[in-house]
Structure 1
Amino acid sequence: MPADTVGLIPAAGLGSRLAPIPCSKELLPVGFEAHPEHGEPHPKVVSQYLLEHMQRAGAEQVYFILRKGKWDIPNYYGDGSQLGLQLAYLLMQRPFGCPFSLDQAYTFVRRQRVVFGFPDILIAPEDAFARLLQRQEETQADVVLGCFGVRYPHKWDMVDLKTGGEVNAILHKPATSDLTYGWAIACWGPRFTEFMHQYLERWEAEVYTSGAELSLGEVVQAAIQNGLLVQSVCFENGSCLDVGTPEDLQKAIKNLS
């Protein structure tokens, strides 16, 4: 995989769907792994699964974007050397949703290939990001979305696909939908990073109303409407589980314990 691949992880959320909790939701223990020193099982936090996915895809450096007060994340991971990664931490300044968090890394990643995931969503298979990057190489797409079959469309950005895998449109958490795939991970190149940066500047200046938030899916939809090529990989036998909700957190603990 390309040596210039970096990971982006938004970790600025409040975790309100699980509140109250004693730590940032990204550090909730879900499953176990062997302790690096004595080999005995010890808890594995939810965001580590995403970091391992990114590492397998060739990302050596990963940026966490935090909000003030979530210091337990850098305290836990440190520089990332225990995972064989270089971790960096950026502070989110504009509370308008996930895309604005990601844009904090603009000057650091504007010329690199990005792999992106949500730290509280568990995905399979293990080579998911590698397959997205391969698809991007094959199609020269600006963005490739990793899509999974989901049961509750109103909880996801649903993806309308053309024959051959090109994304026709993204529907942001529709109340009802005949679509079966939602997206949970992505990779993209510099053209989308630049588009998002400029789009957010315009949105904040011209569209923003008090209390409004913008989703990443809505930015990808705007990119499609502006002529960027968005492709997909559908993981028909894969899985994704949003442990940011109490019911799915319970499922994840049961499945991984």
Structure 2
Amino acid sequence: MPTEIVGLVPAAGLGSRLEPIPCSKELFPVGFATHPVYGKPHPKVVSQYLLEHMQRAGAGKAYFVLRKGKWDIPNYFGDGTQLGMHLAYLIMGRPYGTPFSLDQAYPFIQGKQVVFGFPDILFEPKNAFEQLLKRQQETEADVVLGLYKVPSPHKWDMVKTDDGGRVEHIVRKPLCTDLTYGWAIACWGARFTQFMHAHLEQIQEQVQERGQEVSVGEVIQEGIHNGLSVQSVCFDDSSCLDIGTPEDLRQAIKTLS
């Protein structure tokens, strides 16, 4: 029986780089879409692009992980009926970075195939997740990353691969590097979900003491160190935009409006 595909969406951030805005950054309108009920063009919020990518890849449900107070997100999307998906909402428990937020979904995603993306990042092509899932099937990798050439490496987790696409190393937001690819999306299987859960339990006290957040890239790098297989797909002819930054938001509005 095929493994169920589920989407995982971290939405616990403060959106401080765009302050002040009148809504959660995940609901910032970028472009337009035809309303599924009224049949008229209406503003399309940025996180809808990610959900549509997940749906095309076969995800029938997705889990948002929220920070308390960001109730405008479930108020807007509801149960996902208008998108043709089942949506559920979890509340962030441990404020030590995105992996700890994602681990809130652990009881619900065990044994499942996960497609993961950031709700404030726009990316291409439309079948990006499908390509990641295909690479995972071909290579039996634990994780597959979608890589993009990024103009500002200090804002991204940068990735070094071998000639076959195997990920050798991930560097978190380096101030200076000769690496050109950063990762923006991912898919992973049950083995990485279990590894991340166990690893976060192991380092929680240490992270709490030092007061620094952990990134998803750092957890994947630790997985590589512990023998997990991580592959990649390079989208050389496509782009990604982090609309959590004013400069990329300006470009996205100009392109999609």
Q: TM-score, normalised by structure 2?
A: 0.98
> C-alpha distance in 2, partners of 1:8/1:37?
26
Aligned residues with identical type, % of pairs: 68
Partner of 2:94: 94
Contact 2:3 2:112 (8 Å CA) reproduced: no
Q: May I ask how many residue pairs the two structures share in their alignment?
A: 257
Aligned to 1:208: 208
Q: For the residues of structure 2 that align with 1:224 and 1:145, how far apart are their CA atoms?
A: 13
- Residues 45-78 of structure 1 deviation map (CA, whole Å, 9 limit, x = unaligned): 0000000000000000100000100000000000
Q: Take 1:3 and 1:80, find their aligned partners in 2: how far apart are those partners?
A: 22
Q: Secondary structure at the match of 2:195?
A: helix
Aligned partner letter, 1:88: A
The answer on whether the counterparts of 1:3 and 1:59 sit within 8 Å (CA) in structure 2 is: no
For residues 1-257 of structure 1, what are the structure 2 equivalents within 5 Å?
Answer: 2=2, 4-257=4-257
CA contact (8 A) 1:3 1:58 kept: no
**Contact 1:25–1:244 (CA<8 Å) still a contact in 2?**
yes
Structure 1 residue 111, shift from structure 2 partner = 0.7
CA contact (8 A) 1:145 1:187 kept: yes
Structure 2 residue runs without a partner (length 5+)? none
Given residue 17 of structure 1, which amino acid in structure 2 is its aligned partner?
Answer: R
The SS at the match of 2:205 is helix
Q: Which 4+ residue blocks in structure 1 deviate beyond 4 angstroms? A: none
> Counterpart amino acid of 1:32?
F
What 5-or-longer segments of structure 1 have no aligned partner? none
Give the counterpart letter for 1:256 in structure 2: L
Q: Distance in 2 between matches of 1:220 and 1:256?
A: 32
Q: Which moved more, 1:55-64 or 1:205-214?
A: 205-214
Answer yes or no: is the 8 Å Cα contact 1:9–1:65 preserved in 2: yes
Give TM-score scaled by structure 1 length: 0.98
Please say which of residues 210-219 and 88-97 is displaced more in the overlay: 210-219
CA RMSD of aligned residues (A): 1.2
User: Is the deviation greater in 209-218 or in 115-124?
Assistant: 209-218
Structure 1 Cα separation of the partners of residues 55 and 28 of structure 2: 20
Residue 104 of structure 1 aligns to a residue whose secondary structure is helix
- Equivalents in 1 of 2:191, 2:169: separation in Å? 19
Q: Deviations over 1:21-54 (max 9, x none)?
A: 1000000000001122443221000000000000
Give the secondary-structure state (helix, strand or coil) at the position aligned to 2:209. coil
Deviations along 1:83-122, whole A, 9 cap, x unmatched? 0000000000100000000000001001100000000000
The answer on whether the counterparts of 2:53 and 2:126 sit within 8 Å (CA) in structure 1 is: yes
Say whether the 8 Å CA contact 1:132–1:146 is kept in structure 2.
yes
CA contact (8 A) 1:67 1:92 kept: yes
